[in-house]
Structure 1
Amino acid sequence: MTLQKKFLGELISECIAVVIIVLMGDSSAAMFFLYDPSPYKTAYWGLCIVWGLSVTTAIYVTGAVSGTHANPAVTLSLAIFRGFSWRKVPFYMAAQVVGGVIGAAGVYTLFAPVIDHFAAAHNIDRLHDGAAAGVFFTHPGDFVTPLHSFVVQIILTGLLLLGIFAITYEYNTMAPQANSSALMIGLLVAGIGASAGFLDGWAINPARDFGPRLFCYFAGWGTSALPSPGNYWWVPIAGPLIGGVAGAGIYQTLIRPFIPRNAPVVAVSSTDQSV
Protein backbone atom coordinates (compact mmCIF):
# COMPACT_ATOMS: atom_id res chain seq x y z
CA MET A 1 0.00 0.00 0.00
CA THR A 2 1.40 3.39 -0.95
CA LEU A 3 1.81 6.10 1.64
CA GLN A 4 -0.72 8.28 -0.17
CA LYS A 5 -3.32 5.52 -0.14
CA LYS A 6 -2.64 4.78 3.51
CA PHE A 7 -3.04 8.44 4.44
CA LEU A 8 -6.26 8.70 2.44
CA GLY A 9 -7.57 5.69 4.34
CA GLU A 10 -6.71 7.36 7.64
CA LEU A 11 -8.64 10.50 6.67
CA ILE A 12 -11.65 8.47 5.51
CA SER A 13 -11.57 6.55 8.79
CA GLU A 14 -11.42 9.74 10.87
CA CYS A 15 -14.39 11.12 8.94
CA ILE A 16 -16.40 7.92 9.37
CA ALA A 17 -15.56 7.75 13.07
CA VAL A 18 -17.09 11.18 13.69
CA VAL A 19 -20.07 10.30 11.47
CA ILE A 20 -20.76 7.35 13.76
CA ILE A 21 -20.38 9.42 16.92
CA VAL A 22 -22.64 12.24 15.72
CA LEU A 23 -25.20 9.96 14.08
CA MET A 24 -25.69 7.92 17.24
CA GLY A 25 -25.15 10.70 19.76
CA ASP A 26 -27.25 13.41 18.16
CA SER A 27 -30.01 10.90 17.46
CA SER A 28 -30.14 10.14 21.17
CA ALA A 29 -30.29 13.91 21.78
CA ALA A 30 -33.26 14.04 19.40
CA MET A 31 -34.97 11.38 21.48
CA PHE A 32 -34.26 13.49 24.57
CA PHE A 33 -35.42 16.87 23.24
CA LEU A 34 -38.13 16.18 20.67
CA TYR A 35 -40.40 13.62 22.31
CA ASP A 36 -42.84 14.05 25.16
CA PRO A 37 -42.63 11.92 27.15
CA SER A 38 -38.93 11.53 26.43
CA PRO A 39 -37.34 8.11 26.88
CA TYR A 40 -34.34 9.82 28.49
CA LYS A 41 -35.69 12.73 30.56
CA THR A 42 -36.11 10.45 33.58
CA ALA A 43 -33.18 8.18 32.68
CA TYR A 44 -30.40 10.55 31.66
CA TRP A 45 -27.76 7.86 32.09
CA GLY A 46 -29.25 6.18 29.03
CA LEU A 47 -28.40 9.22 26.92
CA CYS A 48 -24.87 9.25 28.29
CA ILE A 49 -24.41 5.56 27.54
CA VAL A 50 -25.45 6.08 23.92
CA TRP A 51 -22.83 8.79 23.50
CA GLY A 52 -20.25 6.53 25.12
CA LEU A 53 -21.18 3.56 22.95
CA SER A 54 -20.98 5.76 19.87
CA VAL A 55 -17.31 6.38 20.70
CA THR A 56 -16.70 2.70 21.40
CA THR A 57 -18.32 1.73 18.11
CA ALA A 58 -16.28 4.31 16.21
CA ILE A 59 -13.04 2.94 17.69
CA TYR A 60 -13.90 -0.65 16.82
CA VAL A 61 -14.86 0.30 13.25
CA THR A 62 -11.95 2.60 12.38
CA GLY A 63 -9.20 2.11 14.96
CA ALA A 64 -7.15 -0.34 12.90
CA VAL A 65 -6.81 2.25 10.13
CA SER A 66 -6.39 5.67 11.74
CA GLY A 67 -6.27 5.01 15.48
CA THR A 68 -9.63 6.75 15.87
CA HIS A 69 -8.69 10.15 17.19
CA ALA A 70 -12.19 11.34 16.15
CA ASN A 71 -11.55 14.56 18.07
CA PRO A 72 -9.25 17.50 17.24
CA ALA A 73 -8.31 17.75 20.92
CA VAL A 74 -7.03 14.17 20.80
CA THR A 75 -5.14 14.78 17.56
CA LEU A 76 -3.47 17.91 18.93
CA SER A 77 -2.52 16.22 22.19
CA LEU A 78 -1.05 13.20 20.41
CA ALA A 79 1.02 15.50 18.20
CA ILE A 80 2.39 17.38 21.21
CA PHE A 81 3.08 14.46 23.54
CA ARG A 82 3.18 11.19 21.59
CA GLY A 83 4.89 11.94 18.31
CA PHE A 84 1.91 12.03 15.98
CA SER A 85 2.94 13.72 12.73
CA TRP A 86 2.29 17.47 12.74
CA ARG A 87 1.90 17.31 8.97
CA LYS A 88 -1.20 15.17 9.43
CA VAL A 89 -2.82 17.31 12.12
CA PRO A 90 -4.76 19.82 9.92
CA PHE A 91 -5.93 17.06 7.59
CA TYR A 92 -7.16 14.88 10.48
CA MET A 93 -8.99 17.84 12.00
CA ALA A 94 -10.60 18.74 8.67
CA ALA A 95 -11.72 15.13 8.13
CA GLN A 96 -13.20 15.07 11.63
CA VAL A 97 -15.21 18.26 11.01
CA VAL A 98 -16.46 16.89 7.68
CA GLY A 99 -17.57 13.79 9.56
CA GLY A 100 -19.51 16.02 11.93
CA VAL A 101 -21.28 17.68 9.01
CA ILE A 102 -22.17 14.35 7.40
CA GLY A 103 -23.31 12.86 10.69
CA ALA A 104 -25.58 15.85 11.33
CA ALA A 105 -27.03 15.50 7.83
CA GLY A 106 -27.84 11.89 8.65
CA VAL A 107 -29.58 12.87 11.89
CA TYR A 108 -31.56 15.53 10.04
CA THR A 109 -32.60 12.96 7.45
CA LEU A 110 -33.88 10.70 10.22
CA PHE A 111 -35.64 13.30 12.35
CA ALA A 112 -36.68 16.13 9.99
CA PRO A 113 -40.44 15.46 10.31
CA VAL A 114 -40.16 15.26 14.09
CA ILE A 115 -38.13 18.50 14.19
CA ASP A 116 -40.79 20.26 12.11
CA HIS A 117 -43.57 18.96 14.35
CA PHE A 118 -41.67 20.03 17.46
CA ALA A 119 -41.24 23.56 16.10
CA ALA A 120 -44.91 23.82 15.08
CA ALA A 121 -46.17 22.43 18.38
CA HIS A 122 -44.14 24.98 20.34
CA ASN A 123 -44.77 27.83 17.89
CA ILE A 124 -41.05 28.44 17.35
CA ASP A 125 -38.77 28.43 14.33
CA ARG A 126 -35.19 27.52 13.58
CA LEU A 127 -33.73 30.87 12.61
CA HIS A 128 -35.10 33.09 15.36
CA ASP A 129 -35.70 30.64 18.17
CA GLY A 130 -33.19 27.89 17.41
CA ALA A 131 -35.93 25.28 17.41
CA ALA A 132 -34.44 21.83 18.12
CA ALA A 133 -30.90 23.19 17.85
CA GLY A 134 -29.96 21.26 20.97
CA VAL A 135 -30.30 18.07 18.96
CA PHE A 136 -27.25 19.00 16.89
CA PHE A 137 -24.89 21.20 18.89
CA THR A 138 -24.34 22.44 22.42
CA HIS A 139 -25.42 25.50 24.41
CA PRO A 140 -24.79 26.74 27.94
CA GLY A 141 -27.25 25.24 30.38
CA ASP A 142 -29.27 27.00 33.03
CA PHE A 143 -27.34 29.62 35.01
CA VAL A 144 -24.20 29.03 32.88
CA THR A 145 -22.55 31.87 30.95
CA PRO A 146 -20.40 31.33 27.84
CA LEU A 147 -17.30 32.24 29.81
CA HIS A 148 -18.12 29.72 32.54
CA SER A 149 -18.83 27.14 29.86
CA PHE A 150 -15.35 27.80 28.46
CA VAL A 151 -13.90 26.81 31.84
CA VAL A 152 -16.19 23.77 31.97
CA GLN A 153 -14.98 22.60 28.56
CA ILE A 154 -11.35 22.96 29.59
CA ILE A 155 -11.89 20.89 32.73
CA LEU A 156 -14.04 18.17 31.16
CA THR A 157 -11.84 17.70 28.09
CA GLY A 158 -8.82 17.69 30.36
CA LEU A 159 -10.39 14.80 32.23
CA LEU A 160 -11.12 13.04 28.94
CA LEU A 161 -7.53 13.25 27.69
CA LEU A 162 -6.12 12.39 31.10
CA GLY A 163 -8.16 9.19 30.94
CA ILE A 164 -7.36 8.42 27.30
CA PHE A 165 -3.63 8.86 27.83
CA ALA A 166 -3.77 6.58 30.86
CA ILE A 167 -5.87 3.93 29.13
CA THR A 168 -3.63 3.85 26.05
CA TYR A 169 -0.21 3.94 27.72
CA GLU A 170 1.42 0.59 27.03
CA TYR A 171 3.31 0.40 30.36
CA ASN A 172 0.24 1.15 32.48
CA THR A 173 -0.48 -2.25 34.02
CA MET A 174 -3.77 -0.97 35.44
CA ALA A 175 -5.12 -0.10 31.99
CA PRO A 176 -7.67 -2.43 30.37
CA GLN A 177 -6.03 -5.14 28.31
CA ALA A 178 -6.37 -5.83 24.60
CA ASN A 179 -9.30 -4.23 22.81
CA SER A 180 -11.39 -3.58 25.92
CA SER A 181 -9.79 -0.12 26.00
CA ALA A 182 -12.35 1.02 23.43
CA LEU A 183 -15.16 0.19 25.83
CA MET A 184 -13.41 1.97 28.69
CA ILE A 185 -12.95 5.13 26.63
CA GLY A 186 -16.64 5.01 25.77
CA LEU A 187 -17.53 4.62 29.44
CA LEU A 188 -15.24 7.56 30.23
CA VAL A 189 -17.20 9.73 27.79
CA ALA A 190 -20.47 8.52 29.32
CA GLY A 191 -19.20 9.18 32.84
CA ILE A 192 -18.19 12.74 31.98
CA GLY A 193 -21.63 13.38 30.55
CA ALA A 194 -23.39 11.85 33.53
CA SER A 195 -21.38 13.94 35.98
CA ALA A 196 -21.48 17.35 34.27
CA GLY A 197 -23.39 17.17 30.99
CA PHE A 198 -26.21 19.46 32.09
CA LEU A 199 -23.79 22.39 32.38
CA ASP A 200 -23.35 22.82 28.65
CA GLY A 201 -23.94 19.58 26.80
CA TRP A 202 -20.37 18.29 27.34
CA ALA A 203 -19.11 18.80 23.78
CA ILE A 204 -15.49 17.91 24.73
CA ASN A 205 -14.84 17.59 20.99
CA PRO A 206 -14.65 20.54 18.55
CA ALA A 207 -15.60 18.40 15.53
CA ARG A 208 -18.63 16.90 17.29
CA ASP A 209 -19.96 20.42 17.91
CA PHE A 210 -18.69 22.55 15.01
CA GLY A 211 -19.48 20.04 12.24
CA PRO A 212 -23.20 19.81 13.12
CA ARG A 213 -23.25 23.56 13.80
CA LEU A 214 -21.92 24.20 10.29
CA PHE A 215 -24.53 21.88 8.78
CA CYS A 216 -27.31 23.62 10.69
CA TYR A 217 -26.15 27.06 9.56
CA PHE A 218 -26.98 26.04 5.98
CA ALA A 219 -30.05 23.97 6.92
CA GLY A 220 -32.15 26.87 8.18
CA TRP A 221 -30.80 27.64 11.65
CA GLY A 222 -28.60 30.47 10.39
CA THR A 223 -27.34 32.73 13.15
CA SER A 224 -28.85 30.43 15.78
CA ALA A 225 -26.04 28.06 14.82
CA LEU A 226 -23.29 30.49 13.81
CA PRO A 227 -22.32 32.60 15.67
CA SER A 228 -25.17 31.42 17.99
CA PRO A 229 -26.64 33.36 20.93
CA GLY A 230 -23.97 35.01 23.01
CA ASN A 231 -21.42 34.34 20.24
CA TYR A 232 -20.98 30.92 21.82
CA TRP A 233 -19.71 29.01 18.79
CA TRP A 234 -16.01 29.33 19.69
CA VAL A 235 -16.34 27.93 23.21
CA PRO A 236 -16.71 24.21 22.25
CA ILE A 237 -13.69 24.64 19.96
CA ALA A 238 -11.16 26.54 22.06
CA GLY A 239 -12.12 25.01 25.42
CA PRO A 240 -11.58 21.37 24.37
CA LEU A 241 -8.34 22.14 22.52
CA ILE A 242 -6.88 23.86 25.58
CA GLY A 243 -8.29 21.37 28.05
CA GLY A 244 -7.19 18.35 26.05
CA VAL A 245 -3.59 19.50 25.93
CA ALA A 246 -3.72 20.34 29.63
CA GLY A 247 -5.12 16.93 30.61
CA ALA A 248 -2.67 15.06 28.42
CA GLY A 249 0.15 17.18 29.80
CA ILE A 250 -0.84 16.38 33.37
CA TYR A 251 -0.63 12.67 32.63
CA GLN A 252 2.64 12.96 30.74
CA THR A 253 4.38 15.04 33.41
CA LEU A 254 2.81 13.98 36.71
CA ILE A 255 1.84 10.32 36.22
CA ARG A 256 3.72 8.72 33.34
CA PRO A 257 7.28 9.36 34.66
CA PHE A 258 6.51 7.32 37.78
CA ILE A 259 5.19 4.23 35.98
CA PRO A 260 7.80 1.42 35.88
CA ARG A 261 8.87 0.75 32.31
CA ASN A 262 8.89 -3.03 32.45
CA ALA A 263 7.91 -5.16 29.51
CA PRO A 264 4.52 -3.99 28.25
CA VAL A 265 1.69 -6.21 29.46
CA VAL A 266 -1.21 -4.45 27.70
CA ALA A 267 -1.81 -4.15 24.00
CA VAL A 268 -1.71 -0.66 22.52
CA SER A 269 -5.28 0.50 22.13
CA SER A 270 -6.81 1.50 18.84
CA THR A 271 -6.78 5.15 19.89
CA ASP A 272 -2.97 5.04 19.99
CA GLN A 273 -2.15 2.91 16.96
CA SER A 274 -1.35 5.81 14.67
CA VAL A 275 1.43 7.28 16.79
Structure 2
Amino acid sequence: MTVQKKFFGELISECVAVFIIILLGDSVAAMYSLYDPSPYKTAYWGVCIVWGLSVTIAIYVTGAVSGTHANPAVTLSLALFRGFSWRKVPLYMLAQIAGGFLGAAVVYTLFAPVIDHFAAAHNLDRLHDGAAAGVFFTHPGDFVTPMHSFVVEIILTGLLVFGIFAITCEYNTMAPQANSGALIIGFLVAAIGASAGYLDGWAINPARDFGPRLFCFFAGWGASALPSPGNYWWVPIAGPLVGGVTGAGLYQTLIRPFMPRNIPVVVASSSDQSA
Protein backbone atom coordinates (compact mmCIF):
# COMPACT_ATOMS: atom_id res chain seq x y z
CA MET A 1 0.00 0.00 0.00
CA THR A 2 1.40 3.38 -0.99
CA VAL A 3 1.86 6.14 1.57
CA GLN A 4 -0.71 8.31 -0.20
CA LYS A 5 -3.30 5.52 -0.25
CA LYS A 6 -2.71 4.76 3.41
CA PHE A 7 -3.15 8.43 4.35
CA PHE A 8 -6.30 8.65 2.25
CA GLY A 9 -7.64 5.65 4.15
CA GLU A 10 -6.87 7.37 7.43
CA LEU A 11 -8.85 10.43 6.37
CA ILE A 12 -11.82 8.29 5.35
CA SER A 13 -11.55 6.51 8.70
CA GLU A 14 -11.63 9.77 10.65
CA CYS A 15 -14.61 11.00 8.66
CA VAL A 16 -16.49 7.75 9.22
CA ALA A 17 -15.67 7.76 12.94
CA VAL A 18 -17.22 11.19 13.53
CA PHE A 19 -20.09 10.29 11.20
CA ILE A 20 -20.94 7.34 13.45
CA ILE A 21 -20.68 9.45 16.60
CA ILE A 22 -22.99 12.13 15.22
CA LEU A 23 -25.43 9.71 13.63
CA LEU A 24 -26.03 7.96 16.95
CA GLY A 25 -25.44 10.90 19.27
CA ASP A 26 -27.57 13.49 17.49
CA SER A 27 -30.28 10.87 17.00
CA VAL A 28 -30.52 10.26 20.72
CA ALA A 29 -30.55 14.05 21.20
CA ALA A 30 -33.54 14.13 18.85
CA MET A 31 -35.26 11.41 20.86
CA TYR A 32 -34.60 13.41 24.02
CA SER A 33 -35.66 16.81 22.66
CA LEU A 34 -38.43 16.31 20.13
CA TYR A 35 -40.82 13.86 21.74
CA ASP A 36 -43.31 14.52 24.52
CA PRO A 37 -43.23 12.54 26.64
CA SER A 38 -39.56 11.94 25.94
CA PRO A 39 -38.27 8.42 26.57
CA TYR A 40 -35.16 9.98 28.10
CA LYS A 41 -36.41 12.98 30.12
CA THR A 42 -36.40 10.91 33.31
CA ALA A 43 -33.54 8.69 32.17
CA TYR A 44 -30.82 11.10 31.10
CA TRP A 45 -28.15 8.49 31.76
CA GLY A 46 -29.46 6.69 28.68
CA VAL A 47 -28.56 9.71 26.53
CA CYS A 48 -25.06 9.72 27.98
CA ILE A 49 -24.63 6.00 27.41
CA VAL A 50 -25.63 6.30 23.75
CA TRP A 51 -23.10 9.10 23.20
CA GLY A 52 -20.45 7.01 24.94
CA LEU A 53 -21.28 3.87 22.97
CA SER A 54 -21.18 5.87 19.74
CA VAL A 55 -17.54 6.65 20.52
CA THR A 56 -16.84 3.02 21.41
CA ILE A 57 -18.39 1.77 18.17
CA ALA A 58 -16.48 4.36 16.14
CA ILE A 59 -13.21 3.17 17.68
CA TYR A 60 -13.98 -0.49 16.96
CA VAL A 61 -14.89 0.34 13.35
CA THR A 62 -11.98 2.64 12.46
CA GLY A 63 -9.28 2.28 15.11
CA ALA A 64 -7.11 -0.13 13.12
CA VAL A 65 -6.90 2.35 10.24
CA SER A 66 -6.38 5.77 11.82
CA GLY A 67 -6.34 5.23 15.56
CA THR A 68 -9.75 6.95 15.76
CA HIS A 69 -8.83 10.41 16.96
CA ALA A 70 -12.36 11.49 15.93
CA ASN A 71 -11.72 14.81 17.66
CA PRO A 72 -9.47 17.75 16.66
CA ALA A 73 -8.56 18.23 20.33
CA VAL A 74 -7.20 14.68 20.44
CA THR A 75 -5.36 15.11 17.13
CA LEU A 76 -3.71 18.32 18.31
CA SER A 77 -2.73 16.77 21.63
CA LEU A 78 -1.24 13.70 19.96
CA ALA A 79 0.82 15.93 17.66
CA LEU A 80 2.13 17.91 20.62
CA PHE A 81 2.88 15.05 22.99
CA ARG A 82 2.80 11.67 21.23
CA GLY A 83 4.68 12.27 17.98
CA PHE A 84 1.72 12.37 15.60
CA SER A 85 2.74 13.94 12.29
CA TRP A 86 2.00 17.67 12.12
CA ARG A 87 1.65 17.29 8.36
CA LYS A 88 -1.48 15.20 8.91
CA VAL A 89 -3.14 17.46 11.48
CA PRO A 90 -5.03 19.90 9.20
CA LEU A 91 -6.51 17.21 6.95
CA TYR A 92 -7.41 15.00 9.92
CA MET A 93 -9.36 17.91 11.38
CA LEU A 94 -11.10 18.64 8.08
CA ALA A 95 -12.05 14.97 7.73
CA GLN A 96 -13.47 14.98 11.25
CA ILE A 97 -15.55 18.09 10.56
CA ALA A 98 -16.77 16.54 7.30
CA GLY A 99 -17.89 13.48 9.26
CA GLY A 100 -19.87 15.70 11.60
CA PHE A 101 -21.49 17.50 8.67
CA LEU A 102 -22.49 14.25 6.96
CA GLY A 103 -23.71 12.69 10.17
CA ALA A 104 -25.96 15.69 10.83
CA ALA A 105 -27.31 15.47 7.29
CA VAL A 106 -28.39 11.87 7.84
CA VAL A 107 -29.92 12.68 11.24
CA TYR A 108 -31.87 15.48 9.57
CA THR A 109 -33.05 13.04 6.91
CA LEU A 110 -34.31 10.73 9.65
CA PHE A 111 -36.01 13.32 11.85
CA ALA A 112 -37.03 16.14 9.46
CA PRO A 113 -40.82 15.53 9.81
CA VAL A 114 -40.51 15.39 13.60
CA ILE A 115 -38.42 18.58 13.64
CA ASP A 116 -41.05 20.36 11.56
CA HIS A 117 -43.85 19.15 13.83
CA PHE A 118 -41.92 20.19 16.94
CA ALA A 119 -41.37 23.70 15.53
CA ALA A 120 -45.03 24.09 14.54
CA ALA A 121 -46.36 22.73 17.84
CA HIS A 122 -44.23 25.18 19.83
CA ASN A 123 -44.62 28.13 17.43
CA LEU A 124 -40.89 28.22 16.81
CA ASP A 125 -38.89 29.24 13.77
CA ARG A 126 -35.52 27.77 12.82
CA LEU A 127 -33.93 31.02 11.70
CA HIS A 128 -35.10 33.27 14.53
CA ASP A 129 -35.81 30.86 17.39
CA GLY A 130 -33.36 28.07 16.58
CA ALA A 131 -36.15 25.47 16.70
CA ALA A 132 -34.71 22.01 17.50
CA ALA A 133 -31.15 23.30 17.08
CA GLY A 134 -30.17 21.46 20.23
CA VAL A 135 -30.56 18.21 18.32
CA PHE A 136 -27.49 19.06 16.26
CA PHE A 137 -25.14 21.35 18.16
CA THR A 138 -24.53 22.69 21.63
CA HIS A 139 -25.41 25.90 23.44
CA PRO A 140 -25.10 27.19 27.02
CA GLY A 141 -27.55 25.77 29.53
CA ASP A 142 -29.58 27.68 32.09
CA PHE A 143 -27.64 30.39 33.93
CA VAL A 144 -24.48 29.70 31.87
CA THR A 145 -22.80 32.47 29.89
CA PRO A 146 -20.65 31.83 26.79
CA MET A 147 -17.47 32.71 28.69
CA HIS A 148 -18.40 30.37 31.53
CA SER A 149 -19.07 27.68 28.94
CA PHE A 150 -15.59 28.29 27.54
CA VAL A 151 -14.17 27.42 30.95
CA VAL A 152 -16.48 24.39 31.18
CA GLU A 153 -15.25 23.10 27.82
CA ILE A 154 -11.61 23.51 28.84
CA ILE A 155 -12.17 21.51 32.03
CA LEU A 156 -14.33 18.76 30.54
CA THR A 157 -12.16 18.25 27.45
CA GLY A 158 -9.09 18.34 29.66
CA LEU A 159 -10.57 15.46 31.65
CA LEU A 160 -11.42 13.59 28.46
CA VAL A 161 -7.96 13.81 26.92
CA PHE A 162 -6.25 13.23 30.28
CA GLY A 163 -8.24 9.99 30.47
CA ILE A 164 -7.53 9.00 26.88
CA PHE A 165 -3.81 9.52 27.38
CA ALA A 166 -3.92 7.38 30.52
CA ILE A 167 -5.95 4.61 28.89
CA THR A 168 -3.65 4.46 25.86
CA CYS A 169 -0.33 4.88 27.71
CA GLU A 170 1.92 1.92 26.93
CA TYR A 171 3.42 2.01 30.44
CA ASN A 172 0.10 2.04 32.28
CA THR A 173 -0.22 -1.48 33.68
CA MET A 174 -3.65 -0.60 35.12
CA ALA A 175 -5.10 0.44 31.76
CA PRO A 176 -7.62 -1.89 30.10
CA GLN A 177 -5.89 -4.48 28.00
CA ALA A 178 -6.35 -5.52 24.38
CA ASN A 179 -9.32 -3.77 22.75
CA SER A 180 -11.36 -3.02 25.86
CA GLY A 181 -9.88 0.49 25.99
CA ALA A 182 -12.52 1.57 23.45
CA LEU A 183 -15.27 0.64 25.89
CA ILE A 184 -13.64 2.52 28.75
CA ILE A 185 -13.18 5.64 26.60
CA GLY A 186 -16.88 5.43 25.76
CA PHE A 187 -17.74 5.17 29.45
CA LEU A 188 -15.53 8.21 30.09
CA VAL A 189 -17.51 10.23 27.55
CA ALA A 190 -20.75 9.05 29.15
CA ALA A 191 -19.54 9.90 32.65
CA ILE A 192 -18.56 13.42 31.59
CA GLY A 193 -22.00 13.94 30.07
CA ALA A 194 -23.81 12.51 33.09
CA SER A 195 -21.91 14.70 35.53
CA ALA A 196 -21.82 18.01 33.64
CA GLY A 197 -23.73 17.73 30.36
CA TYR A 198 -26.51 20.12 31.35
CA LEU A 199 -24.04 23.01 31.63
CA ASP A 200 -23.59 23.36 27.88
CA GLY A 201 -24.23 20.07 26.13
CA TRP A 202 -20.67 18.81 26.70
CA ALA A 203 -19.32 19.29 23.18
CA ILE A 204 -15.75 18.30 24.21
CA ASN A 205 -15.02 17.95 20.49
CA PRO A 206 -14.84 20.78 17.92
CA ALA A 207 -15.86 18.48 15.04
CA ARG A 208 -18.83 17.13 16.97
CA ASP A 209 -20.19 20.67 17.28
CA PHE A 210 -18.94 22.57 14.24
CA GLY A 211 -19.70 19.92 11.60
CA PRO A 212 -23.43 19.72 12.50
CA ARG A 213 -23.53 23.48 13.10
CA LEU A 214 -22.22 24.06 9.58
CA PHE A 215 -24.83 21.71 8.16
CA CYS A 216 -27.59 23.53 10.03
CA PHE A 217 -26.38 26.88 8.71
CA PHE A 218 -27.15 25.65 5.19
CA ALA A 219 -30.31 23.73 6.19
CA GLY A 220 -32.33 26.72 7.31
CA TRP A 221 -31.06 27.63 10.75
CA GLY A 222 -28.82 30.38 9.37
CA ALA A 223 -27.60 32.78 12.04
CA SER A 224 -29.10 30.57 14.76
CA ALA A 225 -26.29 28.16 13.90
CA LEU A 226 -23.55 30.55 12.78
CA PRO A 227 -22.61 32.74 14.52
CA SER A 228 -25.42 31.65 16.91
CA PRO A 229 -26.90 33.72 19.78
CA GLY A 230 -24.23 35.46 21.79
CA ASN A 231 -21.70 34.67 19.05
CA TYR A 232 -21.29 31.30 20.75
CA TRP A 233 -19.99 29.29 17.79
CA TRP A 234 -16.30 29.65 18.69
CA VAL A 235 -16.65 28.35 22.26
CA PRO A 236 -17.06 24.61 21.39
CA ILE A 237 -14.05 24.95 19.11
CA ALA A 238 -11.55 26.91 21.17
CA GLY A 239 -12.54 25.50 24.56
CA PRO A 240 -11.94 21.83 23.63
CA LEU A 241 -8.68 22.62 21.80
CA VAL A 242 -7.30 24.45 24.84
CA GLY A 243 -8.68 21.84 27.21
CA GLY A 244 -7.36 18.89 25.25
CA VAL A 245 -3.81 20.25 25.17
CA THR A 246 -4.05 21.12 28.87
CA GLY A 247 -5.27 17.66 29.84
CA ALA A 248 -2.65 15.92 27.73
CA GLY A 249 0.09 18.15 29.13
CA LEU A 250 -1.00 17.43 32.70
CA TYR A 251 -0.94 13.69 32.09
CA GLN A 252 2.47 13.83 30.42
CA THR A 253 3.84 15.95 33.27
CA LEU A 254 2.15 14.62 36.39
CA ILE A 255 1.56 10.92 35.73
CA ARG A 256 3.52 9.49 32.82
CA PRO A 257 7.03 10.21 34.21
CA PHE A 258 6.24 8.03 37.22
CA MET A 259 4.83 5.08 35.29
CA PRO A 260 6.81 1.84 35.74
CA ARG A 261 9.10 1.04 32.85
CA ASN A 262 9.67 -2.64 32.15
CA ILE A 263 13.43 -3.15 32.04
CA PRO A 264 14.29 -5.94 29.63
CA VAL A 265 16.22 -8.86 31.07
CA VAL A 266 19.57 -9.30 29.33
CA VAL A 267 20.50 -12.94 28.89
CA ALA A 268 24.26 -13.48 28.91
CA SER A 269 25.71 -15.13 25.83
CA SER A 270 28.05 -18.11 26.00
CA SER A 271 31.03 -15.85 25.32
CA ASP A 272 30.03 -13.60 28.23
CA GLN A 273 29.75 -16.58 30.54
CA SER A 274 33.19 -17.84 29.59
CA ALA A 275 34.87 -14.50 30.12
* SS of residue matched to 2:68: coil
**Which residue is equivalent to 1:237?**
237
Q: Taking structure 1 as reference, are residues 263 and 213 closer, same or farther at Cα in structure 2, changes over 3 Å only? A: farther
Q: Work out the CA distance in 2 between the residues paired with 1:82 and 1:178.
A: 20
Task: Point out 4+ residue stretches in structure 1 off by more than 2 angstroms.
Answer: none
Aligned to 2:12: 12
Matched, 1:171 2:171: yes
Cα shift at 1:38:
0.4
Distance 1:44 1:262 in 2: 43
1:72 aligns with 2:72: yes
Q: State yes or no: 1:26 paired with 2:26.
A: yes
2:111 is equivalent to residue 121 of structure 1: no
Q: Equivalents in 2 of 1:182, 1:263: separation in Å?
A: 28
How far residue 262 of structure 1 moved from its aligned partner, in angstroms, is 1.0
Is residue 2:99 matched to residue 1:96? Answer: no
Mapping of residues 127-142 of structure 1, within 5 Å? 127-142=127-142
Aligned residue type for 1:117 = H
Give the secondary structure class of the aligned counterpart of 1:144: coil
Distance 1:263 1:13, change over 3 A: farther
C-alpha separation between the residues in 2 aligned to 1:98 and 1:224?
20
1:85-234 equivalences under 5 Å are 85-234=85-234
**Structure 1 vs Structure 2 CA RMSD:** 0.8
SS of residue paired to 2:139: coil
Of the two, which has the highest radius of gyration?
2
1:124-147 CA-partner distances (Å, limit 9, x unpaired): 110000000000000000000000
Structure 2 distance, partners of 1:169, 1:254, is 13
Q: In 2, distance between residues paired with 1:190 and 1:261?
A: 31
2:30 counterpart letter in structure 1: A
Amino acid at match of 2:114: V
Report the CA distance between 1:196 and its aligned residue: 0.1
Using the size of structure 1 for normalisation, the TM-score is: 0.95
> Counterparts of 2:190 and 2:227 in 1: how far apart (Å)?
28
SS at match of 2:180: helix
- 1:47 shift after superposition: 0.1
One-letter amino acid of the structure 2 residue matched with residue 17 of structure 1:
A
* Counterpart contact for 1:171–1:263, Cα < 8 Å: no
Match status 1:45 vs 2:77: no
Unaligned residue ranges in structure 1 (runs of 5+): 265-275
Give, in whole Å, the separation in 2 of the partners of 1:38 and 1:170: 43
Shift of 1:263: 6.3
Q: Which residue of 1 aligns with 2:60?
A: 60
Structure 2 letter corresponding to 1:184: I
Structure 2 gap segments, 5+ residues each: 265-275
User: What letter is aligned with 1:216?
Assistant: C
Q: For residue 268 of structure 2, what is the aligned residue in structure 1?
A: none
CA distance in 2, matches of 1:261, 1:241: 30
Q: Deviations over 1:83-114 (max 9, x none)?
A: 00000000000000000000000100000000
Distance across 1 between alignment mates of 2:211 and 2:130: 17
In 2 relative to 1, CA 263–71 (structure 1 residues): closer, same or farther, beyond 3 Å?
Answer: farther
What CA distance in whole angstroms lies between the structure 2 residues aligned with 1:262 and 1:192?
32
Amino acid at match of 1:169: C
Count of paired positions: 264
- In 2, Cα distance between the equivalents of 1:28 and 1:135? 8
Quote the Cα distance in structure 1 between the aligned partners of 2:187 and 2:105.
Answer: 26
User: Normalized against structure 2, the TM-score is what?
Assistant: 0.95
Counterpart Cα distance in 2 of 1:121 and 1:247: 43
- Residue of structure 1 in register with 2:270 after alignment: none
Q: Output the CA distance in 1 between the equivalents of 2:45 and 2:263.
A: 38
